[in-house]
Amino acid sequence: MRRSTPLASWIALLTAASSLFAQGGGPTPVNVALARTIEQEATVTVVGDVEPLRRALVASKEEGAVIEFPFREGDAVKKGDVLARLETTVLEHELATAQAMLEARKQEYDELNNGTRSEVIAAAKARMEAAKAVASLAQSKLERTRKLKLSASVEELDEARAEADRAKQMVAEFEAAHEEATNGPRAEQVERAKAMVAAQESEIKRLESLIDRHVIKAPFDGYVTKEQTQVGEWVTRGGPVVEIIDLEEVDVRVPVPGRYIGKVKLGQQVHVSFDSIKDRLLEGTVRQIVPEADRKSRLFPVMVRMKNFRDGETPGLRAGMLARVDLPAGDVSEGVFVPKDALVLGEAVPMVFVVKPMPSQADGAPGGLTVAPAVIRLGATVGNLIEVRGDVKPGDRVVIEGNERLRPGQPVSVLEAPSKS
Do 192 and 171 share a structural domain?
yes
The partner residues of 300 in beta bridges, in order of sequence, read 256
331 vs 3: which has the higher pLDDT: 331
pLDDT of 347 strictly over 80: no
The fraction of the chain above a pLDDT of 90, given in percent, is 50
Residue 162 zone, left/alpha/beta (φ > 0; ψ -120 to 50; rest): alpha
Helix then strand count (H, E) for the chain reads 6, 22
Query: pLDDT band for position 20 (50/70/90)?
Result: very low
Residue finishing a domain among 174, 206, 238: 206
In this structure, what CATH number is given to the domain that contains residue 262? 2.40.30.170
Q: What percent of the chain has pLDDT over 70?
A: 85
User: Whole-angstrom Cα distance, residue 401 to residue 139?
Assistant: 122
296's CB contacts (< 8 A; 6+ apart) are none
1 assigned to some structural domain: no
Q: How confident is the model at residue 7 (pLDDT cuts 50, 70, 90)?
A: very low
Over the stretch 207-251, which tens digit does the pLDDT of each residue have? 999 999 999 999 999 999 999 999 999 999 999 999 999 999 999
Domain that holds residue 190: 97-206
Q: What angle do CA 178, 184, 187 make, to 5 degrees?
A: 140
Q: Are 162 and 108 members of one domain?
A: yes
* Residues β-bridged to residue 372: 354
| Last residue in a domain, options 312, 331, 350 | 331
Do residues 255 and 48 touch, judged by C-beta distance below 8 A?
Answer: yes
Amino acid at position 368, single letter: G
pLDDT at 145 over 90: no
According to the model, what pLDDT value does residue 266 have? 95
* Least trusted range by pLDDT, from 135-144, 148-157, 381-390: 148-157
Q: What is the pLDDT of residues 365-401, one digit of tens each?
A: 566 899 999 998 888 788 888 889 888 999 999 999 8
Which of 301, 331, 361 represents a domain boundary (last residue)? Answer: 331
3-state class (DSSP) for residue 7: helix
pLDDT at 413 over 60: yes
The answer, yes or no, to whether residue 196 has pLDDT greater than 50, is yes
Shared domain for 317 and 340, answered yes or no, is no
Q: Give the pLDDT band of residue 138 (cuts 50, 70, 90).
A: confident
Q: Please give the average per-residue pLDDT across 300-327, as a whole number.
A: 93
**Mean per-residue pLDDT for 55-68?**
97
User: Within this chain, do residues 168 and 180 fall inside the same structural domain, yes or no?
Assistant: yes
- In the prediction, which pLDDT does 140 show? 82
Task: Report the chain's mean pLDDT, rounded to a whole number.
Answer: 85
The sign one gets for the Cα dihedral 383, 336, 33, 344 is negative
User: What is the C-alpha R_g of the chain?
Assistant: 46
116 and 193, same domain (yes or no): yes
Count of structural domains within the chain: 3
Indicate whether 50 pLDDT > 90.
Answer: yes
Mean pLDDT to the nearest integer, 18-46: 76
Tell me, yes or no, whether 155 and 177 share the same domain.
yes
Q: 325 and 353: one domain?
A: no
> What contacts 112, CB < 8 A, 6 or more positions away?
185, 189, 190, 193
Q: Are residues 408 and 376 in the same domain?
A: yes
pLDDT class of 118 with cuts at 50, 70, 90: low
pLDDT of residue 16: 44
pLDDT at 12: 45
Judgement on whether residues 273 and 296 belong to the same structural domain of the protein: yes
Do 303 and 266 share a structural domain? Answer: yes
pLDDT at res. 13: 44
Q: Is residue 66 part of a domain?
A: no
Q: In angstroms, rounded to a whole number, what is the distance separating the alpha carbons of residues 102 and 104?
A: 5
Residue 15, pLDDT score? 42
Q: Which of 327, 121, 94, 304 is nearest to 211 (CA)?
A: 94
**pLDDT confidence of 165, banded at 50, 70, 90?**
confident
Band of residue 419 on the pLDDT scale cut at 50, 70, 90:
low
Q: How confident is the model at residue 254 (pLDDT cuts 50, 70, 90)?
A: very high
Asked if the structure places residue 221 within a domain, the reply is: no
Beta strands in 133-239 (DSSP E): 215-217, 222-227, 234-235
Q: What pLDDT is attached to residue 25?
A: 59
Q: Look at residue 269 and tell me if it is in a domain.
A: yes
Q: Please tell me the distance from the alpha carbon of residue 98 to that of residue 59, in angstroms, as a whole number.
A: 29
Residue that wins the pLDDT comparison between 334 and 255 = 255
Q: Residue 19: which pLDDT band, with cuts at 50, 70 and 90?
A: very low
Residues 94, 100 contacting (CB under 8 angstroms): no
Q: Which residues contact 293 (CB under 8 A, 6 or more apart)?
A: 258, 299, 300
Asked whether residue 364 is assigned to any structural domain, the reply reads yes
What whole-number distance in Å separates Cα of residue 252 and Cα of residue 67? 38
pLDDT at 17 over 60: no
Say what the pLDDT of residue 171 is.
78
Residues 170 and 115 in one domain: yes
Whether 14 has a pLDDT exceeding 50, the answer reads no
Same domain, 349 and 317: no
CA dihedral 140→144→147→151, nearest 10 degrees, is: -160
What is the reported pLDDT for 183? Answer: 65
57 is a domain residue: no
158 has a pLDDT exceeding 80: no
Longest dimension (CA), the chain: 171
pLDDT at 133: 81
pLDDT winner (highest mean) among 114-123, 132-141, 172-181:
132-141
Residue 185 lies in a domain: yes
Asked if the structure places residue 232 within a domain, the reply is no
Residue 8 has pLDDT above 50, yes or no: no
Determine if residue 74 is left, alpha or beta; phi over 0 gives left, psi from -120 to 50 gives alpha, anything else beta: left
On the question of pLDDT at 187 being above 70, the answer is yes
What number of residues does the chain have?
421
Residue 359 belongs to a domain with what CATH number? 2.40.420.20
The arithmetic mean of pLDDT across residues 405-415, rounded, is 88
